[in-house]
Amino acid sequence: MITRDALPTSTTNAPERRRMRGGGVVPVLGQIGVYLLLTVLALVVIYPLTWMVLSGFKSNSEVFANPWGFPGEWRTENYRAALDAGVGRYFLNSVFVTAVSIVTTTLISAWAAYGLTRTNLPFERVGTTLVLGGLMVAPTVALVPLFGLLQRLNLFDTLWGLIVLYTAYRIPFTTFLIRAYFIDIPRQVDEAARIDGASLWQTFWLIILPMSRPILVSAALLQALFAWNEFAFALVFLSDGDLKTLPVGLMDMQSRLLTNWPVQFAGLTLAAVPMIGLFLLGQRQFFRGLTDGMGK
């Protein structure tokens, strides 16, 4: 076990630090308790996920007979069967909806943030309230009226309907995030661009957007997480099985496959792994985005 005194966390020397903390048995017990807690929590997180991945390689009887252990034979065919049972198609639908809504949400929000922060907008407060006020409206509350609205607009049971909703409902949050970043960009940047003869449009595309890359990446990641996992809209506004996105598709698959547990586990794994992978790859950016976003 790593003891705290061995760690280079402070510039004071070890004996002094021990004296300041009081020394004795209690801190040692406290540390054991702390590491015990952290380990148990880690297991509580990891174990179900490991179980899910491993069960996806087992046979049906093994899931029952040997729930804890490794599979006797690694059956990759479960994963292929899950892909064929719909996970492959749901996956592509999710990729499409997520990718398009990332672009639309980020662009439209960046425009709004630009208008709010850098154009000397008359009645700027009204604009801010109108855009950010949407933060107060929860998607669930609008399910019934949206049901009729989407039908009238011929967007019901289409992936474009989802994209429009995913964009509309995320504009307030994304604008909030980007606006906080734009506020910190000095005004002189815009003035210099104007003196060089750039229009607002050119200033936005050629100067402000490239400067805001970090926040745009964070906004895109958060939108990806949202669109990839969204459930209520996809459940209510899609009825065609071929159009289902992963979250609702998995539910569908669960009722179709019933007792073919290993294939279901394989399907869950296929749905979870890309997001975990993306998160692990982008985590530095992601945590930084959180820090920036919470700053204001």
Partner 1 sequence: MRTVARRWAGWWWLLPGLVLLGTFVYYPIIQNFQLSTYSWNAFTSTPTFVGMDNYREAWADPVFWRAVGNNTLFAIVSLIFQVAFALALAAILEEAVHQRLRGVLRTLYFIPAVISITVAGILFSFIYNPEFGLLNELLNAVGLDEWQRAWLGDRSTAMGSIIAMSQWQNFGYTSVLFIVAIQRIPREFYEAAKIDGAGPVRTFFTVTVPLVREMTTLLIILTFSGAFLVFNEVMVMTAGGPANSTHVLGTWLYFNAFMADDMGYASAIATVIFAITFVLAMIQLAYARRRRVEL
Site for partner 1 in 216-275 (CB under 8 A): 225, 228-229, 231-232, 235-236, 246-248, 250-251, 254, 261, 264-265, 268, 271-272, 275
Taking CB under 8 A as the binding criterion, the range among 72-80, 186-194, 212-220, 288-296 that sits at the site for partner 1 is 288-296
Nearest to 71 by CA among 46, 52, 49: 52
Contact call for residue 287 and partner 1 (CB under 8 A): yes
Label residue 219 exposed, middle or buried (CB < 10 Å: 0-12, 13-18, 19+).
Answer: buried
Q: Mask of contacts with partner 1, 62-81, x by CB under 8 A? A: -xx--xx-------------
Residue from 120, 125, 188, 258 that binds partner 1 (CB under 8 A)?
120
Exactly one of 14, 15, 20, 32 binds partner 1 (CB under 8 A); that residue is 20
* The dihedral sign for the CA sequence 224, 271, 82, 242: negative
3-class DSSP state of 127: helix
Q: What is the DSSP letter of 11?
A: S
Q: Which of residues 98-117 bind partner 1 (CB under 8 A)?
A: 108-109, 111-112, 114-116
In whole angstroms, the minimum distance from the beta carbon of 272 to partner 1 comes to: 4
CB of 48 to partner 1, least distance (A): 6
The rounded distance, in Å, linking the Cα atoms of 281 and 270 is: 17
* 145 belongs to the binding site for partner 1 (CB under 8 A): yes
Least spacing, CB of residue 252 vs partner 1, in Å: 10
Question: What phi and psi, each to the nearest 5 degrees, are found at residue 214?
Answer: -60, -45
Q: How far is the CB of 259 from partner 1 (least distance, A)?
A: 10
CA Rg value for the chain: 25
Residue 25 C-beta: closest distance to partner 1, Å: 13
Please report which residue ranges of the chain form alpha helices under DSSP H.
14-21, 25-55, 60-65, 77-82, 88-118, 124-132, 143-152, 159-183, 187-195, 200-203, 209-211, 213-229, 232-237, 246-257, 261-295
Reduced 3-state DSSP string for 131-162: HHHHHHCCHHHHHHHHHHHHHHCCCCCCHHHH
**Distance from C-alpha of 83 to C-alpha of 28, rounded to nearest angstrom:** 51
The residue within the footprint of partner 1, chosen from 5, 81, 99, 127 (CB under 8 A), is: 127
Total interface residues for partner 1 by CB under 8 A? 94
Of residues 177 through 206, those in contact with partner 1 by CB under 8 A are 200
Tokens of 289: 């985005």
- As measured in angstroms, the least distance from the Cβ of 287 to partner 1 is 7
Cβ 168 vs Cβ 284: under 8 Å: no
> Binding partner 1 by CB under 8 A: which of 18, 31, 88, 96?
31
Q: Which of 168, 215, 243, 266 lies at the binding interface for partner 1 (CB under 8 A)?
A: 168
Q: Which of 36, 40, 130, 206 binds partner 1 (CB under 8 A)?
A: 130
160 counts as binding partner 1 under rule CB under 8 A: no
